Copies of this chain bind each other. A is one copy, B any other.
Amino acid sequence: MISRDPKQLFIEARSGSRVALARLLTYVESGGALHRQTVAEAYQSTSPYVIGITGPPGAGKSTLTDRLIGEALSVGGFDGQHPFETIAILAVDPTSPFTGGAILGDRVRMQEHATDDRVFIRSMATRGHLGGLSLAVPDAIRVLGAVGFSVVLVETVGVGQMEVEIASAADTTIVVTIPGAGDSMQANKAGLLEVADLFVVNKADRPDVASVRRDLEQMLDLGGERAWRPTITDTVATDGRGLSELWSAITAHRLFIERDDTFMERRRMRTRVELQRVLSAVVANRVRELANGEAYEAQVARLVSGECDPYTAADVLLQS
């Protein structure tokens, strides 16, 4: 029998139990008391290095992620000499209603490494609790860090606000585009420009690669001076072309943010945003609790009879 106790599960997960790890991730997804114990433990370790990958559906992100796993495990880690021993992938799909690490889909999507012991893949989809994915993903990252993963790939499907939000919580954020995807990029240009550290033009064996590249360069020119100008890498994920260049670009960006002192500043920024999100979620939960019960109905009755205004009623509820 596998334990239900987070502390025990961390011990088991650290010594390699994927079942224990999966259970811890379920805790952070589902909220409740075990969630609190899990994060209290998880946040005692520092965050792993997070690589975010986002872009429109059909851009080939899963295949690209699959190839990146290969690079991370073979080429030589961040220093070019020590390949990572393990790597974790969070595949985030805000549009999908189901979740859970055990679903077949995960394994199928990243075929090459589906049976690789060094690779841990987890799908995360929308749950109705707290702040949903935008809270669960950071928590899951910390759990993965705490059980020994030093690098986590977070792949998000889509280019909506939430996907960008999640991807931008990464240390290195990769925005994937493809020739002919102009419209879907267009809609989010400003947001994507802000979060992208690296651009990838995938499916670069298609026509019009040059024009996508030109668009991106122009976009970057308009964006003004920045300490780090996002690089643009052409890839054909299906046959591995451009992948080693992309891994080099990731490594270069990592070196840049570490050298440039921006690393800690980024983490501090991220922490600031994260805390605000948690704060809002915790408070929203309390509001939901307040909005059920006798005290609430008493205020509703007062309002219906015109005894007070809703702001006064809210104050009364908050003071109780």
Residues of A bordering B, CB below 8 Å: 36, 39-40, 42-46, 142, 264, 267-268, 271-272, 274-276, 278-280, 282-284, 286-287, 290-291, 296, 299-300, 303-304, 306, 308-315, 317-318
Contacts and interface: CB of A to CB of B under 8 A. Distances in A.
Given A280-B284, A283-B287, A287-B276, A312 B40 contact: yes
A142 B311 CA distance: 13
Contact of A280 (B40, B142, B271, B287): B287
A272 B287 contact: no
B318 A282 contact: yes
Given A287-B283, A296-B275, A300-B271, A36 B310 contact: no
A299 B275 contact: yes
Contacts of A142: 309
A276 to B, nearest CB: 5
A284 B296 CA distance: 18
13 contacts: A40-B312, A43-B303, A43-B306, A268-B300, A274-B303, A274-B310, A275-B296, A275-B303, A279-B290, A279-B318, A282-B311, A282-B318, A283-B287
Contacts of A278: 310-311, 313-314
A162 B29 CA distance: 28
Given A46-B306, A309-B43, A310-B39, A317 B279 contact: yes
Contacts of A291: 272, 275-276, 279
Contact of A36 (B272, B279, B286, B311): B311
A40 B278 CA distance: 32
B287 A45 contact: no
Given A45-B306, A275-B299, A275-B300, 16 more contacts: A39-B310, A39-B311, A40-B308, A40-B311, A40-B312, A43-B309, A44-B306, A268-B304, A271-B300, A272-B300, A275-B296, A278-B310, A278-B311, A278-B314, A279-B317, A280-B287
A36 B315 CA distance: 12
B282 A283 contact: no
Given A43-B309, A44-B306, A311-B39, A279 B287 contact: yes
A267 B314 contact: no
Nearest to A138: B310
A296 B272 CA distance: 8
A317 B277 CA distance: 13
A295 to B, nearest CB: 11
A308 B43 contact: yes
Contacts of A279: 287, 290-291, 314, 317-318
